């Protein structure tokens, strides 16, 4: 369930859902059939009646549960949360979501446990992080938020920043890496720079250098699988711990790569929203 206050005069519920938010047909149909859009008194609204600016709406989703098994949420580090989304930290070494039904021990198992403790039953990740990568993941708390944030991600309107420790001394203080990325025909889970791959751009700047490594901040302009890992390896500076792409080994086997910042214009409030690790 979430609340929304209309910002335009004479907009109908139908227009808000179908035109402004472009919510999925299934979601719209279920909301209509279940009379899931109500006023402040809890009364169902006529979807075709124009509403004045400032009308307070309540959206309820009676049949929109997520199917993840609940796991312990004791150690879940939630950095940001509102009615629509939350951003929490995925530790390195665990998967973002289950690979098979009933699997536990992933980030989303912890998230759904947290959401259910608060009386909710829906949580779906907007993007993913590799198992060896740590950091911020954005999670939608209802189906309309999922649709809107998926669209923002697809359109490149969610800024995602990472910090990586890479092997060697990176001499260029900043730059951009423009290489297309495709599948590696010789390794099922590996990607490589390929002329026939999808276009990909990563911006970077050096933060500091050590005797055998360089710390860089990287920003994704596109979101290809393993993009930062592939790009940094291709220019001769693989992420430490990322042995798949020729990085040096780390004691714990995890990558020295952390998603540190998310920034976007919130589709429900219109405000620039930034979530950042300390």
Cβ-defined contacts of 145-153 (< 8 Å, 24+): 145/2, 145/84, 145/85, 145/267, 145/268, 147/21, 147/22, 147/23, 147/24, 147/27, 148/21, 148/22, 148/267, 148/268, 149/85, 149/264, 149/267, 150/126, 151/22, 152/264, 152/267, 153/126, 153/127, 153/223
Question: Beta-carbon neighbour count of residue 123 at 10 Å?
Answer: 24
Active site residues: 130
Q: Which residue has the tokens 């098994």?
A: 69
């Amino acid at each position: 369930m979430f609340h929304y206050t209309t910002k335009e005069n004479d907009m109908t519920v139908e227009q808000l859902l179908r035109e402004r938010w472009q919510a999925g047909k299934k979601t719209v149909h279920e909301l209509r059939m279940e009379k899931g859009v109500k006023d402040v008194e809890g009364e169902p609204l006529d979807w075709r009646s124009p509403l004045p600016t400032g009308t307070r709406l309540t959206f309820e989703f009676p049949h929109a549960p997520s199917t993840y098994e609940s796991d312990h949420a004791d150690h879940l580090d939630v950095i940001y949360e509102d009615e629509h989304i939350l951003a929490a930290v995925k530790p390195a070494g665990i998967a973002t979501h289950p690979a098979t039904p009933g699997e536990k021990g992933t980030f989303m198992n912890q998230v759904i446990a947290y959401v259910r403790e608060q009386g909710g039953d829906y949580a779906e990740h907007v993007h993913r992080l590799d198992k060896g990568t740590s950091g911020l993941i954005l999670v939608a708390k209802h189906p309309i938020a999922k649709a809107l944030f998926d669209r923002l991600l697809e359109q490149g309107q969610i800024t995602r920043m990472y910090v990586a420790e890479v092997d060697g001394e990176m001499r260029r203080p900043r730059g951009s890496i423009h290489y297309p990325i495709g599948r590696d025909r010789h390794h099922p889970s590996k990607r490589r720079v390929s002329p026939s791959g999808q276009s990909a751009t990563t911006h970077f700047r050096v933060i500091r250098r050590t005797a055998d490594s360089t710390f860089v901040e990287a920003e994704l302009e596109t979101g290809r699988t393993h993009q930062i890992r592939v790009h940094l390896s291709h220019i001769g500076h693989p992420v430490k711990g990322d042995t798949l792409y020729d990085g040096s080994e780390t004691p714990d086997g995890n990558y020295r790569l952390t998603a540190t910042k998310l920034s976007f214009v919130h589709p429900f409030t219109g405000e620039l929203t930034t979530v950042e690790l300390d």
